[in-house]
Amino acid sequence: MSTTTEPSMGVQTHLKRHPTLALVVIACAQLMVILDATIVNVALPTIRAELHFSAASLEWVITAYAVTFGGLLLFGGRTGDLYGKRRMFMVGVGLFAIASLFGGLATNELWLIITRGLQGVGGAIASPTALSLVAINFSEGPERNRAMGVYSAMSALGGALGLLLGGLLTSYVSWRWIFFVNVPIGAAGLLMAPRVLQESIPTPGRLDVPGALTVTAGMLSLVYSLTNASLHPWSSMGTVIPLVGAGILLMAFVAIERSTPAPLMPLSIFKSRNRSGAYAIMLALGVAVFAVFFFMTQYLQDIQYYSAVRTGVAFLPMSVAIMVAAVGTSRLLGKISIRVPLLVGPILALAGELGLSRLTPTSGYAAAIIPLVLIAFGMGQSFVPLTVTVMSGVAPNEAGLASALLNTGQQVGGALGLAVLGTIAISAAHRYMNTALSAHHRPTAALLHAATVHGYTRGFEVGTLIAAVALLVSVFVLRKPSGSRESLPVP
């Protein structure tokens, strides 16, 4: 095959460039990985009945994926820098597809939980290497911005689309197809990747094993503790012990990185004010927004009595809004300052959270979907410039790390948001119910619904405040590009 002008530094350019096909491969892989964070949710009752899950074990169908995916992202991103981004992308996609196949064939609790954990491992390798492949396969500027727009749309779209596909497949085919559907996608990705994706030149050196062990164990412990806190009290040993362990391990990781000559995560990556601000915004938006899917799925099914399919369809406008906002924002980045969408995005997310905090048990669909669409536009407008900001000017040997940190912020933010906002919602609902019962109200279904929705609205109020934190970071931390290597790719 003929050689072409390389689109980025540190790239082996032995392939003809096929930018459209390259973007399809990257985007489909990212969508596949992100979908699995939510696609299982609406199938849980069916899985429980067919495989005879206990109530305690069922939560691990979600937790096993969240813990391994969130905990291994930094490690997965760094392996791409050291051993080749395309090579590790294919390893991640292959592992994810194989785990999905065996997940669909599961006949008992342990089998399904193990395959969910293996899916998380594959996703933790594939997702950050997919983003870094965007950086090396597309030239910086409008071409890369458009590619980042599609990538970010897939990342933001996955959560909402997962609920829709999960409901459709569970209701009309089988819950097993929420796993089987990944197999042909993964196989196509493995077939196309070596033909359309440029490979990076691996960074010389060895993996920082002490750093890798401490950060992986620390992130696994942190994500586990946060996920456990969303299901059990914060004071439970299952939350406290891993949370303390995570703090100790992550402090040890920082100490190792300061002293080792070849660190897994060079702390210099945080020297860029804009990049560090982008990480903080992603973390805050993750905390504020991702609990919305959890709350609203239950609100529509338990309070409004929607079926699984109708619940998935109800989120469809949100999916469309994310896609429109992400693609539209990517086209505007060369014409407007990148700070504009990073101001508008958090404002829209804040407004949507505030709107959801006004829901009641009798609110109609319009009262829910309008705030959800606002949040979707906010996510779509934010994720593209955040991705561009993080990847702009990053050294080729740190592209995997930079992308992994962004994904880590999103995943840890989501776990933290679900833990914190979920705890607030449960506590508020209990207080509402106890106050009503002490006033001699009868424990009717209507009262239970009122208490539950009261808890959700309190969670959304806190989400509004956290979205405001993202807005404050955007206002006071991000700076107008100056044209230096670390600045953003806009005029």
Q: What number is the average pLDDT over the span 157-181? A: 84
Angle formed by the axes of helices 142-172 and 291-298, to 10°? 30
Distance between CA atoms of residues 65 and 223, nearest Å: 10
* Pairing mode, strands 199-200 and 11-12: antiparallel
Distance between CA atoms of residues 383 and 409, nearest Å: 12
Distance between CA atoms of residues 126 and 23, nearest Å: 14
The owner of tokens 């899916």 is 119
Within 10 Å of residue 480's Cβ, how many Cβ atoms? 11
The owner of tokens 């586990």 is 224
pLDDT at 284 over 50: yes
Within 10 Å of residue 206's Cβ, how many Cβ atoms? 7
Please state the separation of Cα 397 from the chain's center in Å: 23
pLDDT in tens, 143-162: 887 887 787 777 767 766 78
**Which range is least confidently modeled, 148-157, 192-201, 439-448?**
148-157
Answer for the pair 196, 147: CB distance below 8 angstroms, yes or no. no
pLDDT at 370 over 90: yes
pLDDT at 450 over 80: yes
Confidence band for 313, pLDDT divided at 50, 70 and 90? confident
Answer for the pair 67, 227: CB distance below 8 angstroms, yes or no. yes
DSSP calls for 423-461: HHHHHHHHHHHHHHHHTT----HHHHHHHHHHHHHHHHH
Distance between CA atoms of residues 151 and 147, nearest Å: 6
pLDDT at 483 over 50: no
DSSP calls for 84-137: -HHHHHHHHHHHHHHHHHHHHT--SHHHHHHHHHHHHHHHHHHHHHHHHHHHHH
Confidence band for 227, pLDDT divided at 50, 70 and 90? confident
Q: What number is the average pLDDT over the span 221-233? A: 78
pLDDT in tens, 101-150: 999 999 998 999 999 999 999 999 998 888 888 878 887 778 887 887 78
Confidence band for 55, pLDDT divided at 50, 70 and 90? low
pLDDT in tens, 390-433: 888 787 777 778 888 888 888 788 878 877 888 888 889 999 99
